[in-house]
């Protein structure tokens, strides 16, 4: 008999604890659209979507990340760290992301399903590290077009959103100022990429030298999403006894399906592939947390033709559907 979520580590049966993580500063651009994703998912009917699957939504609101960054920038402490790393706004970002780390840990230790809606890609590292503090055997399915696995030495842009995967994998040679709290690292054999199609040369070198499992869009085209997910889940969780975290960058999906993706790259997941991916992770009965990132509602488009149950924005609608799939929505 397969273990159920409530029997294993979700002691608060069918409860989703959600919080918004409105942060865009790790990209180095003033992109207000990604900060609004959680609010628009709420307006798009997220609570109803969750309740229709028999779950309770406990919405903790949005974390005050911009306020923390602003406070740090006004303090004298930040001046001590400006020249210690080539990561822009490193200290301020670290202090803000610590709030996500704490919130993720507190929700996970309660035994709830943790849903964190970003924000940019930086949201992933504190989400994973915080949940892993409560669930030490955590394994990660990282869905995205980009590797996000540069180190400070290979990060040409200087923006943290290009390195959260490397950070949570423990690839950094020294702690970053402001990130001293990030001490829980995912072993490489418990981490897999799904849907890569646009990576830096430096990232390719790091990935080839690692034990991380990689399933690119080429693999999905060749083998199909079903076979790829079977292989990926077996590699990171061979005995089906580890909690799973799903880190989903909306940019993994093709722009024709997800026009609200912040960093677009052609040739991404189809609508059905994205939903099937979430359904297959959910059917393991070991999925206990999820973060959604890089959805810029300012880039989103209205639905050309609204179908039964749709809301007005195409990518917001899709994001809510993915959440539903992750908590068990299926045809029958």
Per-residue confidence (pLDDT) for residue 293, from 0 to 100: 97
* pLDDT exceeds cutoff 70 at 305: no
Query: 193 vs 32, 74, 190, 235, 326, CA distance in Å?
Result: 27, 38, 11, 11, 17
Please, are residues 49 and 323 in contact by the beta-carbon 8 Å criterion? yes
pLDDT value for 6? 46
pLDDT, averaged across the chain: 91
- What letters, b where the CB count within 10 A reaches 16 and e where it falls short, cover 112-140? bbbbbbbbbbbbbbbbbbbbbbbbeebbb
Q: Could you tell me which residue, 80 or 127, shows the higher pLDDT?
A: 127
Task: Provide the pLDDT for residue 102.
Answer: 98
Per-residue pLDDT at 7: 46
In this prediction, residue 74 carries a pLDDT of 86
Contacts of 121 (CB under 8 A, 6+ apart): 26, 144, 146, 148, 161, 162, 164, 249, 293, 294
Banded pLDDT at 162 (limits 50, 70, 90): very high
User: What does pTM read for this prediction?
Assistant: 0.94
297-301 long-range contacts, CB within 8 A, separation 24+: 297/33, 297/36, 297/37, 297/40, 297/260, 298/31, 298/32, 298/33, 298/36, 299/33, 299/259, 299/260, 299/261, 299/262, 300/40, 300/259, 300/260, 301/259, 301/260
CA angle 184, 123, 137 (to 5 degrees): 30
Res 28 pLDDT > 80: no
Is pLDDT above 70 for 1?
no
Sequence-ordered list of residues with C-beta below 8 angstroms from that of 189, at least 6 positions apart, any chain:
211, 213, 235, 236
Position 311 pLDDT exceeds 80: no
pLDDT at 13: 78
Quote the pLDDT of residue 331.
Answer: 63
Domains and CATH numbers, the chain: 5-326 (3.40.800.10)
Lowest mean pLDDT among 66-80, 141-155, 161-175: 66-80
């Amino acid at each position: 008999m397969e273990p159920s979520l409530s029997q294993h580590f979700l002691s608060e049966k069918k409860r989703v604890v959600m919080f918004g993580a409105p942060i865009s500063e790790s990209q180095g651009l003033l992109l207000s659209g990604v900060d609004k994703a959680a609010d628009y998912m709420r307006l798009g009917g997220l609570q109803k979507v969750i309740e229709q699957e028999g779950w309770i939504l406990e919405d903790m609101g949005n974390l005050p990340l911009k306020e923390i960054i602003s406070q740090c920038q006004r303090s004298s402490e930040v001046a001590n760290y400006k020249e210690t790393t080539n990561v822009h706004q490193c200290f301020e970002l670290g202090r803000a992301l610590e709030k996500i780390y704490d919130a993720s840990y507190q929700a996970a230790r309660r035994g709830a399903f943790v849903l964190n809606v970003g924000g940019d890609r930086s949201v992933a590292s504190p989400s994973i590290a915080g949940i892993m503090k409560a669930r030490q055997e955590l394994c990660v399915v990282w869905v995205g077009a980009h590797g996000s696995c540069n180190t400070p030495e290979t990060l040409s842009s200087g923006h943290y959103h290009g390195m959260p995967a490397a950070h949570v994998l423990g690839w950094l040679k020294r702690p970053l100022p402001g990130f001293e709290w990030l001490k829980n690292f995912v072993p490489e054999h418990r981490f897999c990429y799904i849907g890569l199609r646009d990576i830096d040369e430096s990232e390719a070198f790091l990935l080839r030298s690692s034990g991380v499992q990689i399933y690119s869009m080429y693999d999905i085209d060749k083998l199909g999403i079903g076979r790829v997910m079977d292989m990926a889940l077996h590699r990171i969780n061979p005995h089906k006894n580890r909690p799973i975290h799903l880190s989903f960058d909306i940019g993994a999906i093709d722009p024709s399906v997800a026009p609200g993706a912040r960093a677009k790259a052609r040739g991404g997941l189809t609508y059905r592939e994205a939903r099937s991916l979430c359904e297959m992770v959910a059917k393991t009965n070991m999925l206990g947390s999820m973060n959604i990132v890089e959805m810029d509602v300012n880039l989103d488009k209205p639905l050309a033709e609204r179908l039964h149950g749709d809301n007005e924005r195409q990518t917001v609608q899709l994001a809510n559907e993915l959440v539903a799939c992750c908590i068990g929505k299926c045809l029958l």
